[in-house]
Amino acid sequence: MGEQLQIAIFSSGLWQNKHEIAQLTGLDPVFCRAQGPIPANLTAICGWGYKESAITARKIAADLQLPYWAIEDGFIRAIMPGIAEPSISMLVDRSRIFYDSTLPSDLHKKIALCSGESTDKKNQAQHVIDLLTTSHITKYNNFDPDVIPECLNKKRYNKKILVIDQTFGDAAISGAGASLNTFVSMVNYALENEANAEIIIKTHPDVAAGLKRGLIDISLQDDRVTLLTQKISPWRLFEYVSEVHTVSSQLGLEAVLFGHKVHCWGQAFYSGWGLTTDHFNGNSTPRVKQDRHQLAKVIYLDYLKYFDHWNRELIDFDTAIDQIVYLREKYLLHPYKVYGFLPRLAQKALYTNLFRPKKRI
Protein backbone atom coordinates (compact mmCIF):
# COMPACT_ATOMS: atom_id res chain seq x y z
CA MET A 1 0.00 0.00 0.00
CA GLY A 2 1.46 3.35 -1.06
CA GLU A 3 2.28 6.17 1.30
CA GLN A 4 -0.49 8.78 1.70
CA LEU A 5 0.19 11.89 -0.38
CA GLN A 6 0.44 15.00 1.76
CA ILE A 7 -0.30 18.71 1.60
CA ALA A 8 1.70 21.07 3.82
CA ILE A 9 0.16 23.76 6.03
CA PHE A 10 2.40 26.47 7.53
CA SER A 11 -0.27 28.48 9.39
CA SER A 12 -1.61 27.49 12.82
CA GLY A 13 -4.90 29.20 11.96
CA LEU A 14 -5.31 27.24 8.75
CA TRP A 15 -4.32 24.06 10.58
CA GLN A 16 -7.59 24.33 12.53
CA ASN A 17 -9.28 23.49 9.22
CA LYS A 18 -7.16 20.41 8.48
CA HIS A 19 -10.21 18.12 8.42
CA GLU A 20 -11.92 20.30 5.81
CA ILE A 21 -8.70 20.66 3.80
CA ALA A 22 -8.31 16.88 3.65
CA GLN A 23 -11.79 16.65 2.12
CA LEU A 24 -11.23 19.57 -0.24
CA THR A 25 -7.93 18.27 -1.59
CA GLY A 26 -8.03 14.50 -1.11
CA LEU A 27 -4.59 14.79 0.53
CA ASP A 28 -3.33 14.23 4.06
CA PRO A 29 -2.58 17.60 5.74
CA VAL A 30 0.73 17.88 7.59
CA PHE A 31 1.76 20.86 9.72
CA CYS A 32 5.18 22.30 8.90
CA ARG A 33 7.28 25.13 10.26
CA ALA A 34 9.07 27.50 7.91
CA GLN A 35 12.47 26.70 9.45
CA GLY A 36 11.74 23.02 10.07
CA PRO A 37 11.98 19.81 8.03
CA ILE A 38 9.75 19.41 4.97
CA PRO A 39 8.25 15.96 4.18
CA ALA A 40 9.58 14.37 1.02
CA ASN A 41 6.22 13.16 -0.31
CA LEU A 42 4.44 16.50 -0.52
CA THR A 43 2.03 16.95 -3.42
CA ALA A 44 1.33 20.63 -2.72
CA ILE A 45 1.51 23.44 -0.19
CA CYS A 46 -1.60 25.40 0.79
CA GLY A 47 -2.36 28.72 2.43
CA TRP A 48 -5.16 31.24 2.93
CA GLY A 49 -5.78 32.56 -0.57
CA TYR A 50 -3.23 35.03 -1.89
CA LYS A 51 -3.24 37.21 1.21
CA GLU A 52 -0.19 38.43 3.13
CA SER A 53 -0.64 35.63 5.67
CA ALA A 54 0.13 33.11 2.92
CA ILE A 55 3.39 34.72 1.71
CA THR A 56 5.56 32.20 3.58
CA ALA A 57 3.66 29.22 2.17
CA ARG A 58 3.84 30.61 -1.37
CA LYS A 59 7.57 31.32 -1.10
CA ILE A 60 8.36 27.83 0.18
CA ALA A 61 6.21 26.30 -2.58
CA ALA A 62 8.15 28.30 -5.18
CA ASP A 63 11.52 27.37 -3.64
CA LEU A 64 10.60 23.67 -3.63
CA GLN A 65 8.96 23.89 -7.07
CA LEU A 66 5.71 22.55 -5.61
CA PRO A 67 2.18 23.67 -6.51
CA TYR A 68 0.61 26.26 -4.20
CA TRP A 69 -3.11 25.69 -3.60
CA ALA A 70 -5.23 28.50 -2.22
CA ILE A 71 -7.81 27.71 0.48
CA GLU A 72 -10.61 30.21 1.08
CA ASP A 73 -13.99 30.61 2.71
CA GLY A 74 -16.83 30.45 0.22
CA PHE A 75 -19.62 32.92 -0.54
CA ILE A 76 -21.87 31.51 2.20
CA ARG A 77 -19.94 31.63 5.43
CA ALA A 78 -21.85 31.80 8.70
CA ILE A 79 -24.29 33.85 10.77
CA MET A 80 -21.97 36.44 12.30
CA PRO A 81 -19.13 38.44 10.68
CA GLY A 82 -15.61 37.47 11.66
CA ILE A 83 -13.79 34.14 11.70
CA ALA A 84 -14.95 32.59 14.99
CA GLU A 85 -17.79 30.51 13.53
CA PRO A 86 -16.94 27.62 11.19
CA SER A 87 -17.51 28.43 7.52
CA ILE A 88 -20.26 26.41 5.89
CA SER A 89 -18.64 26.76 2.45
CA MET A 90 -14.98 26.57 1.46
CA LEU A 91 -12.94 26.14 -1.70
CA VAL A 92 -9.55 25.10 -2.98
CA ASP A 93 -8.15 26.81 -6.06
CA ARG A 94 -5.19 25.08 -7.66
CA SER A 95 -4.48 27.84 -10.20
CA ARG A 96 -4.84 31.20 -8.44
CA ILE A 97 -7.84 32.53 -6.46
CA PHE A 98 -11.14 33.98 -7.63
CA TYR A 99 -10.50 37.54 -6.40
CA ASP A 100 -7.09 37.87 -8.09
CA SER A 101 -7.45 38.88 -11.74
CA THR A 102 -3.73 38.83 -12.57
CA LEU A 103 -3.90 35.17 -13.65
CA PRO A 104 -6.86 32.88 -14.44
CA SER A 105 -8.18 31.03 -11.39
CA ASP A 106 -9.93 27.66 -11.38
CA LEU A 107 -13.20 29.60 -11.22
CA HIS A 108 -12.29 31.69 -14.27
CA LYS A 109 -11.44 28.54 -16.22
CA LYS A 110 -14.67 26.80 -15.20
CA ILE A 111 -16.80 29.78 -16.26
CA ALA A 112 -14.90 30.16 -19.55
CA LEU A 113 -15.64 26.53 -20.43
CA CYS A 114 -19.40 27.03 -20.07
CA SER A 115 -21.23 27.00 -23.39
CA GLY A 116 -24.66 25.85 -24.43
CA GLU A 117 -25.64 24.55 -20.99
CA SER A 118 -28.33 21.87 -21.02
CA THR A 119 -31.85 22.53 -19.78
CA ASP A 120 -31.11 20.37 -16.75
CA LYS A 121 -28.07 22.47 -15.79
CA LYS A 122 -29.99 25.69 -16.35
CA ASN A 123 -32.72 24.38 -14.06
CA GLN A 124 -30.06 23.59 -11.45
CA ALA A 125 -28.75 27.14 -11.73
CA GLN A 126 -32.23 28.64 -11.43
CA HIS A 127 -32.76 26.51 -8.32
CA VAL A 128 -29.58 27.99 -6.82
CA ILE A 129 -30.73 31.55 -7.53
CA ASP A 130 -34.25 30.86 -6.25
CA LEU A 131 -32.98 29.27 -3.04
CA LEU A 132 -30.54 32.10 -2.32
CA THR A 133 -33.17 34.78 -2.93
CA THR A 134 -36.16 33.18 -1.20
CA SER A 135 -34.10 32.00 1.78
CA HIS A 136 -32.24 35.34 1.91
CA ILE A 137 -28.79 33.77 2.16
CA THR A 138 -25.50 35.61 1.71
CA LYS A 139 -22.01 35.51 3.24
CA TYR A 140 -23.01 36.69 6.72
CA ASN A 141 -26.59 36.10 7.82
CA ASN A 142 -27.16 37.85 11.16
CA PHE A 143 -30.23 39.78 9.95
CA ASP A 144 -33.98 39.36 10.00
CA PRO A 145 -35.07 38.99 6.34
CA ASP A 146 -38.35 40.74 7.11
CA VAL A 147 -36.85 43.87 8.71
CA ILE A 148 -36.42 46.82 6.34
CA PRO A 149 -34.44 49.90 7.46
CA GLU A 150 -36.67 52.97 7.58
CA CYS A 151 -34.47 54.94 5.17
CA LEU A 152 -35.35 52.57 2.31
CA ASN A 153 -39.07 53.24 2.65
CA LYS A 154 -38.63 57.00 2.21
CA LYS A 155 -39.29 58.07 -1.38
CA ARG A 156 -37.18 61.22 -1.66
CA TYR A 157 -36.14 60.83 -5.31
CA ASN A 158 -37.30 59.06 -8.45
CA LYS A 159 -34.99 56.12 -7.90
CA LYS A 160 -32.34 54.70 -5.60
CA ILE A 161 -28.81 53.77 -6.71
CA LEU A 162 -26.84 51.35 -4.55
CA VAL A 163 -23.10 51.99 -4.08
CA ILE A 164 -21.24 49.25 -2.23
CA ASP A 165 -18.34 49.90 0.13
CA GLN A 166 -15.67 47.33 0.98
CA THR A 167 -13.09 47.01 3.73
CA PHE A 168 -9.62 48.53 3.87
CA GLY A 169 -7.02 45.90 3.01
CA ASP A 170 -9.51 43.61 1.26
CA ALA A 171 -7.46 41.43 -1.11
CA ALA A 172 -10.39 41.48 -3.54
CA ILE A 173 -9.72 45.19 -4.16
CA SER A 174 -6.06 44.98 -5.17
CA GLY A 175 -6.79 41.65 -6.86
CA ALA A 176 -9.32 43.45 -9.06
CA GLY A 177 -6.72 46.06 -10.05
CA ALA A 178 -8.48 48.68 -7.91
CA SER A 179 -7.50 51.10 -5.15
CA LEU A 180 -8.94 53.83 -2.94
CA ASN A 181 -9.11 56.10 -5.99
CA THR A 182 -11.42 53.57 -7.67
CA PHE A 183 -13.96 54.04 -4.89
CA VAL A 184 -13.68 57.83 -5.20
CA SER A 185 -14.32 57.59 -8.96
CA MET A 186 -17.28 55.26 -8.42
CA VAL A 187 -18.99 57.56 -5.92
CA ASN A 188 -18.32 60.67 -8.03
CA TYR A 189 -19.73 58.97 -11.13
CA ALA A 190 -22.91 58.00 -9.31
CA LEU A 191 -23.38 61.53 -7.97
CA GLU A 192 -22.67 63.21 -11.31
CA ASN A 193 -24.70 60.88 -13.53
CA GLU A 194 -27.72 60.29 -11.32
CA ALA A 195 -28.91 63.81 -10.53
CA ASN A 196 -32.45 62.67 -9.71
CA ALA A 197 -31.51 59.61 -7.68
CA GLU A 198 -30.83 58.90 -4.05
CA ILE A 199 -27.39 57.34 -3.57
CA ILE A 200 -27.50 54.54 -1.00
CA ILE A 201 -24.01 53.74 0.30
CA LYS A 202 -23.98 50.26 1.83
CA THR A 203 -21.28 49.68 4.42
CA HIS A 204 -19.64 46.28 4.81
CA PRO A 205 -20.91 44.07 7.70
CA ASP A 206 -17.38 43.97 9.18
CA VAL A 207 -17.37 47.79 9.25
CA ALA A 208 -20.82 47.96 10.84
CA ALA A 209 -19.63 45.41 13.42
CA GLY A 210 -16.60 47.57 14.24
CA LEU A 211 -14.14 44.93 13.03
CA LYS A 212 -12.70 46.83 10.05
CA ARG A 213 -12.88 50.21 8.30
CA GLY A 214 -14.31 51.04 4.90
CA LEU A 215 -12.98 52.97 1.90
CA ILE A 216 -15.84 55.31 1.00
CA ASP A 217 -15.84 58.70 2.72
CA ILE A 218 -19.01 58.47 4.83
CA SER A 219 -18.90 62.20 5.64
CA LEU A 220 -19.98 63.14 2.09
CA GLN A 221 -21.82 66.46 2.13
CA ASP A 222 -24.64 65.73 -0.28
CA ASP A 223 -28.34 65.61 0.54
CA ARG A 224 -28.83 62.75 -1.91
CA VAL A 225 -26.49 60.41 -0.03
CA THR A 226 -27.92 57.95 2.49
CA LEU A 227 -25.58 55.77 4.53
CA LEU A 228 -26.99 52.29 5.10
CA THR A 229 -25.29 50.65 8.08
CA GLN A 230 -28.20 48.54 9.29
CA LYS A 231 -28.27 44.80 8.74
CA ILE A 232 -30.46 43.77 5.82
CA SER A 233 -30.85 40.87 3.43
CA PRO A 234 -29.12 41.83 0.16
CA TRP A 235 -31.97 40.21 -1.75
CA ARG A 236 -34.44 42.46 0.08
CA LEU A 237 -32.20 45.48 -0.50
CA PHE A 238 -32.15 44.83 -4.26
CA GLU A 239 -35.95 45.22 -4.32
CA TYR A 240 -35.54 48.89 -3.35
CA VAL A 241 -32.81 49.97 -5.78
CA SER A 242 -32.64 50.39 -9.55
CA GLU A 243 -28.92 49.94 -10.24
CA VAL A 244 -25.83 48.85 -8.37
CA HIS A 245 -22.25 50.17 -8.35
CA THR A 246 -19.46 47.98 -6.98
CA VAL A 247 -15.70 47.54 -7.22
CA SER A 248 -15.41 43.81 -6.56
CA SER A 249 -17.81 43.05 -3.70
CA GLN A 250 -19.74 39.79 -3.36
CA LEU A 251 -22.86 41.97 -3.27
CA GLY A 252 -22.09 42.80 -6.89
CA LEU A 253 -22.26 39.12 -7.80
CA GLU A 254 -25.55 38.76 -5.95
CA ALA A 255 -26.94 41.81 -7.75
CA VAL A 256 -26.00 40.18 -11.08
CA LEU A 257 -27.82 36.99 -10.07
CA PHE A 258 -30.81 39.10 -8.99
CA GLY A 259 -30.92 40.54 -12.52
CA HIS A 260 -29.96 44.15 -11.77
CA LYS A 261 -27.85 46.43 -13.94
CA VAL A 262 -24.47 46.32 -12.21
CA HIS A 263 -21.68 48.85 -12.78
CA CYS A 264 -18.36 47.15 -11.99
CA TRP A 265 -15.34 49.37 -11.29
CA GLY A 266 -12.74 46.67 -10.73
CA GLN A 267 -11.97 43.52 -12.65
CA ALA A 268 -14.09 41.32 -10.40
CA PHE A 269 -14.47 37.61 -11.06
CA TYR A 270 -18.06 38.20 -12.24
CA SER A 271 -17.26 41.15 -14.53
CA GLY A 272 -16.28 40.95 -18.19
CA TRP A 273 -18.72 38.14 -18.99
CA GLY A 274 -21.29 40.46 -20.57
CA LEU A 275 -23.34 40.66 -17.36
CA THR A 276 -21.99 43.97 -16.03
CA THR A 277 -21.32 47.51 -17.23
CA ASP A 278 -17.56 47.63 -16.80
CA HIS A 279 -15.62 50.79 -15.92
CA PHE A 280 -12.27 49.07 -15.34
CA ASN A 281 -9.46 50.86 -17.23
CA GLY A 282 -6.57 48.48 -16.61
CA ASN A 283 -5.39 45.48 -18.57
CA SER A 284 -8.16 42.90 -18.50
CA THR A 285 -8.21 39.20 -19.26
CA PRO A 286 -10.49 38.47 -22.27
CA ARG A 287 -13.68 36.69 -21.23
CA VAL A 288 -16.38 34.89 -23.20
CA LYS A 289 -19.94 36.14 -22.84
CA GLN A 290 -21.98 34.08 -20.36
CA ASP A 291 -25.37 34.33 -18.68
CA ARG A 292 -26.20 34.59 -14.98
CA HIS A 293 -27.40 30.98 -14.80
CA GLN A 294 -24.01 29.69 -15.93
CA LEU A 295 -22.34 31.93 -13.37
CA ALA A 296 -24.61 30.70 -10.56
CA LYS A 297 -24.10 27.02 -11.35
CA VAL A 298 -20.32 27.17 -11.69
CA ILE A 299 -19.81 29.28 -8.55
CA TYR A 300 -22.25 27.66 -6.13
CA LEU A 301 -22.34 24.05 -7.39
CA ASP A 302 -18.93 23.46 -8.99
CA TYR A 303 -16.44 25.79 -7.28
CA LEU A 304 -17.63 25.71 -3.66
CA LYS A 305 -17.82 22.76 -1.29
CA TYR A 306 -20.13 22.72 1.72
CA PHE A 307 -19.53 21.42 5.24
CA ASP A 308 -21.95 20.39 7.96
CA HIS A 309 -21.90 23.08 10.65
CA TRP A 310 -21.55 20.52 13.44
CA ASN A 311 -19.62 17.45 12.22
CA ARG A 312 -17.74 19.20 9.35
CA GLU A 313 -18.44 16.46 6.82
CA LEU A 314 -19.27 17.31 3.21
CA ILE A 315 -22.92 18.16 2.46
CA ASP A 316 -24.77 19.43 -0.60
CA PHE A 317 -25.85 22.99 -1.42
CA ASP A 318 -29.48 22.53 -0.34
CA THR A 319 -28.49 21.11 3.04
CA ALA A 320 -26.08 23.99 3.59
CA ILE A 321 -28.88 26.48 2.95
CA ASP A 322 -31.18 24.58 5.32
CA GLN A 323 -28.53 24.71 8.06
CA ILE A 324 -27.89 28.45 7.68
CA VAL A 325 -31.64 29.14 7.74
CA TYR A 326 -31.97 27.01 10.90
CA LEU A 327 -29.01 28.73 12.58
CA ARG A 328 -30.37 32.18 11.72
CA GLU A 329 -33.79 31.32 13.15
CA LYS A 330 -32.11 30.22 16.38
CA TYR A 331 -29.89 33.31 16.40
CA LEU A 332 -32.86 35.67 15.99
CA LEU A 333 -34.57 33.99 18.95
CA HIS A 334 -31.40 33.94 21.06
CA PRO A 335 -28.85 36.49 19.76
CA TYR A 336 -25.27 35.82 20.78
CA LYS A 337 -21.96 37.63 20.63
CA VAL A 338 -18.87 36.31 18.89
CA TYR A 339 -15.96 36.19 21.33
CA GLY A 340 -12.99 36.75 19.06
CA PHE A 341 -10.53 36.82 21.98
CA LEU A 342 -11.07 33.13 22.78
CA PRO A 343 -8.34 30.63 21.84
CA ARG A 344 -9.04 29.03 18.47
CA LEU A 345 -9.81 25.61 19.94
CA ALA A 346 -12.26 27.18 22.41
CA GLN A 347 -13.92 29.13 19.58
CA LYS A 348 -14.26 25.94 17.57
CA ALA A 349 -15.74 24.01 20.49
CA LEU A 350 -18.21 26.80 21.28
CA TYR A 351 -19.48 27.79 17.85
CA THR A 352 -19.40 24.35 16.25
CA ASN A 353 -21.75 23.05 18.95
CA LEU A 354 -23.98 26.12 19.05
CA PHE A 355 -27.67 25.28 18.52
CA ARG A 356 -26.88 21.65 17.71
CA PRO A 357 -30.23 20.09 16.67
CA LYS A 358 -31.52 16.81 18.08
CA LYS A 359 -32.08 15.55 14.54
CA ARG A 360 -29.62 15.99 11.70
CA ILE A 361 -30.58 18.70 9.22
Q: Per the domain annotation, does 187 fall within a domain?
A: yes
Q: Per the domain annotation, does 213 fall within a domain?
A: yes
The kind and range of the H/E element at 152 are helix 150-153
What's the rounded Cα separation, in Å, for the pair 134 and 242? 19
Q: Per the domain annotation, does 305 fall within a domain?
A: no
Q: Per the domain annotation, does 248 fall within a domain?
A: yes
Residue type, 209: A
Q: Per the domain annotation, does 195 fall within a domain?
A: yes
Q: What is the CATH number of the domain that holds 207?
A: 3.40.50
Residue 4, helix vs strand vs coil: coil
pTM over 0.85: yes
Q: Per the domain annotation, does 350 fall within a domain?
A: no
- Within 155-222, residue ranges assigned H as helices are 171-175, 180-193, 205-208
- Within 72-112, residue ranges assigned H as helices are 106-112
Q: Per the domain annotation, does 112 fall within a domain?
A: no
Q: Per the domain annotation, does 200 fall within a domain?
A: yes
Ordered per-residue pLDDT tens for the chain, 361 residues? 457 899 999 999 999 999 999 999 999 999 999 999 999 899 999 999 998 889 999 999 999 999 999 999 999 999 998 888 999 999 999 999 999 999 999 999 999 998 766 778 889 999 999 999 999 999 999 999 999 999 999 888 889 999 999 999 999 999 999 999 999 999 999 999 998 999 999 999 888 888 889 999 888 888 999 999 999 999 999 999 999 999 999 999 999 999 999 999 999 999 999 999 999 987 666 688 899 999 999 999 999 999 999 999 999 999 999 999 999 999 999 987 766 555 666 766 777 777 788 677 7
Which domain covers residue 198, as residue numbers? 119-293
Overall domain count for the chain: 1
Residue 78, helix vs strand vs coil: strand
Residue type, 28: D
What's the rounded Cα separation, in Å, for the pair 30 and 38? 10
